[in-house]
Structure 1
Amino acid sequence: MGDTGTGDGAAAARPRVRGAARRRLVVRALLALCLVLAVVCGALTWQYRQAEARESAQQGALDAARGTALNLATIDHTTAQRDVQRVLDGATGQFRDDFAASAESFVAVVEDTEVSTVGRSADAGIESWAGDRGTVLVQVASTVTNRSEPQERSRMWRLRMSMEKVDGAYRTATLEYLP
């Protein structure tokens, strides 16, 4: 009889052992699942923040490009020197060098012909982007008058601008007029 009791006790213990092993397995699987979910959430959060930073940078470049385009399209013969300085303040690199080199003769022509041009609106979009620089396409509408043609004329300009981040702000590094 002593033999029968041992067999019954061992048989009763086996389901408890199997149940405990299953619980440990389920707990481990849940912990692994939680770890995987945490990693996925972390990766998605990182990607979201990267996309948000890129979008913010691009918006800054678009705003700066619109501003430069409007500054170029808003020049008056009575304030030409100040207007040119406003353009130079938003410029860097080759565009700044080229515009600064021709600024004196540009101001002279504007003053001599009594040109007045007023930028009315500027639309912009990203053509390409990498890091803190990119190419922006801008279309700016303006009205122009001068001494020989005092009747106001509307003009539309299309520009390709490369924008670079300098000292925390986006500036125009190159500018190309498009047909």
Structure 2
Amino acid sequence: MTDRSKEVAVPTRRDRTLKVIKGSRSGAAGRPAQRRVVLRPVRTPIEDVLERIDQEPAEDAAVGGVPTGTADPERVEDRPDAADAPGDDPAAADDPAPASAGPGRRRLLVGLLVALLAGSLALAGLYGHRWYGHRALEEARQGALAAAKQTSVDFVSVSAASVDRDLQRIVDGATGEFKDEFTRGQAQVRTAVVENKVESRGSVLRAGLVSGDRRRAVVLVAVDATVKNAKAPAGRAAHYRIQLDLVHDRDSGQWLVSRLQFVG
């Protein structure tokens, strides 16, 4: 009957293991059993790792038929157009303002600027029109006031030495009802001035616009005059308050008196 052999591992300096196989305790003819020593290399985990590392391909070696340094056409991240694909780029997905929004934003800004410019021009035109209308109205009123002052002075300033010229000046500044009445009595006025040797000179004390627009106006004028005639060669003072209605003549651009009356 033979005993089962027993293996004993003995480590050496080279990390090798001796496997000793002992024979049976009792051999044939009572001789001691012979020991048979067999040297078998035993692989350690470190050697396995080193051998695997030695067998792994280098960085420039081919892996699966494709060199490590080259792009795999089947891999999405290595394709040249992978970065252009929408939705594959996390940065593009997180970007709240895509590149396509740039032109749209610029168009929006341009539209807003155009709208603001148009509104500013319209507002400027509106205020310009109002300013022009206000200025035109003020100029018209000042023109009517000046015409009323001049006509009042002309009406009370008559001299026998220049009667024809003085009366014609009054006619030139009149229109409508006032012109018709004065023209009908012009001959009688001339006769009275010449026969009585009248010399009258007047000046405006005050004048005020009662009402007026760009076409019509009513003005009240206070006039002082010094009147000389045959009965009062030294002259005497006279005070008049005259109300004049004026209209603006489009053809000549002048203010003409359509009605004249003494009110005090």
Equivalent of 2:142 in 59, 82, 104: 59
Structure 1 residues 108 and 84: CA distance shift in structure 2, 3 A? same
**Structure 1: runs of 5+ lacking an equivalent:** none
**Distance in 1 between residues matched to 2:142 and 2:148, nearest whole Å:** 10
Amino acid at match of 1:129: G
In the alignment, structure 1 residue 148 sits paired with structure 2 residue 228: no
Deviation, structure 1 residue 96: 0.5
48-57 or 26-35: which moved more? Answer: 26-35
Is the contact between residue 124 and residue 137 of structure 1 (CA under 8 Å) also seen in structure 2?
Answer: yes
**Distance in 2 between residues matched to 1:121 and 1:112, nearest whole Å:** 27
Deviation, structure 1 residue 165: 2.3
Q: Which residue of 1 aligns with 2:151?
A: 68
- How well do the aligned residues superpose, as a CA RMSD in angstroms? 2.5
In the alignment, structure 1 residue 48 sits paired with structure 2 residue 131: yes
Structure 1 residues 16 and 138: CA distance shift in structure 2, 3 A? farther
What TM-score do the two structures reach when normalised by structure 1? Answer: 0.84
What secondary structure, in the 3-state scheme, does the structure 2 residue paired with 1:151 have? coil
In the alignment, structure 1 residue 175 sits paired with structure 2 residue 260: yes
Deviation, structure 1 residue 4: 8.2
Query: Which one has the bigger strand percentage?
Result: 1
Q: Which residue of 2 aligns with 1:107?
A: 190
What TM-score do the two structures reach when normalised by structure 2? Answer: 0.59
Is the contact between residue 91 and residue 173 of structure 1 (CA under 8 Å) also seen in structure 2?
Answer: yes
CA displacement 1:35-75 (0-9 Å, x = unmatched): 22211111111111122222222222222211111111111
Amino acid at match of 2:226: T
Deviation, structure 1 residue 17: 6.1
**Distance in 1 between residues matched to 2:202 and 2:87, nearest whole Å:** 102
Q: Which residue of 2 aligns with 1:87?
A: 170
Is the contact between residue 66 and residue 122 of structure 1 (CA under 8 Å) also seen in structure 2?
Answer: no
Deviation, structure 1 residue 18: 10
**Structure 2: runs of 5+ lacking an equivalent:** 1-75, 78-85
Deviation, structure 1 residue 112: 2.4
**Distance in 2 between residues matched to 1:75 and 1:87, nearest whole Å:** 10
Instruction: Report the count of equivalent residues.
Output: 178
**Distance in 2 between residues matched to 1:32 and 1:164, nearest whole Å:** 44
Q: Which has the larger radius of gyration?
A: 2
**Distance in 2 between residues matched to 1:18 and 1:159, nearest whole Å:** 80
Q: Which residue of 1 aligns with 2:218?
A: 135
Deviation, structure 1 residue 5: 4.1
Deviation, structure 1 residue 91: 0.6
**Distance in 2 between residues matched to 1:19 and 1:143, nearest whole Å:** 88
Is the contact between residue 87 and residue 93 of structure 2 (CA under 8 Å) also seen in structure 1?
Answer: no
Is the contact between residue 120 and residue 143 of structure 1 (CA under 8 Å) also seen in structure 2?
Answer: no
Amino acid at match of 2:257: T
Query: Which one has the bigger helix percentage?
Result: 1
